[in-house]
Amino acid sequence: MAKKVVASLQKGEGKTFTKVIKMVKSPKTGAYTFKEEMVHNEKVKEFFAKK
């Protein structure tokens, strides 16, 4: 039943966006952090290209 509910929520504009997660290394400590954003499907490559 849960699958049917989740599938019904993905109608309309929600399908045009993607959650992207990028691992970024801190210049001060050298530790990695994660940067998360909701990005339009057409701009995913641009998100990963920028620093």
Task: Please give the pLDDT value at position 32.
Answer: 95
Decide if pLDDT at 48 tops 70.
yes
Task: Please give the pLDDT value at position 15.
Answer: 77
pTM value surpassing 0.75:
no
Distance, CA of 41 to CA of 32 (rounded, Å): 25
